Structure 1
Amino acid sequence: MNKEEQVMTSFRDLFNKMAWLNKTKMEDSLKGYKPSEVHCIEFIERNADSNVTKLAESLYMTSGAISKITKKLLEKGYIESYQKPDNKKEIYFRLTGQGKAVYKVHEELHKEFQARDKAVFEQVTEGQFDSMLSFIDKYSRHLDAEIKKQGIDIKQE
């Protein structure tokens, strides 16, 4: 196996291990919520003036899928929609008190997982972090270009 294959295999293994370790705790703490709903809630809390387009782009989902999720979240009372006085066409979302409570549970879980893994990150130097972040950024930009080459517009699917 060459270095490129080792990196890709290692990324997949790392992601799968994290998902496996976090899964039970996430499912127990966020019973009754689908991961896509929780990720929508998280994005809406962290990004002002979230709308279907921004959610679709960020979560790599179609606008149709996001519309279904936001409709459910609206019905359940986790988010509310609003419009800006100068733009009556666009619909935006913000969290309700119930939605903020879900967000808080999710954030606490992330902090717990971060604390669990802190021992590893404490050993990483600034230079190593910079190298990893640089690689991830380059690879992400490459994948963005490949997506664009295929003519895929996540917003329109």
Structure 2
Amino acid sequence: MSADFETRIALGNELEKAGKDDEAIAHFRLMLDEYPDDPRILYEYGGAFDTAGRENEAIPLYRKALEKGLSGMYVPQLYLQLASTLRNVGQLDEAITILQDACRQFPERPSLKLFLALALESADRDHDALTALFDLAVAHVDTADMKRYARSIRAYVDDRR
């Protein structure tokens, strides 16, 4: 897409950050009118609704963005946002499934594992949530003390399964 396209998306994101939710929603609605079915605009439009606390309006936009072929760095972000939104509206099983799949596809994204732990905890699966957090710590906390005890921690985590 053009630099103008990216600039306009950035403007919508700035409106969200400034707490101007209705303006951000209107901004992305106008962009969607101009670029019908564009997966990136669908994703951003859904995000504007999500930020405004209008989760039920965000969910179908997120789904349509995936259906229309959202790609690149936005895919793991969309999975996280969709799953988090589903968790917020009580659709815990679907949220967990999406996050588990996303964690397998994008292991370099620790935020996915953290949100998986939140979803598991919301589903009263505290053991699984804590295990996910231990996995996250072992995989992504890169300090001398964690390296020293990594084998012991990994064994403990594996014993919990």
**Structure 2 length-normalised TM:** 0.24
TM-score of the superposed pair, with normalisation by structure 1: 0.25
- Report the structure, 1 or 2, having the larger strand content: 1
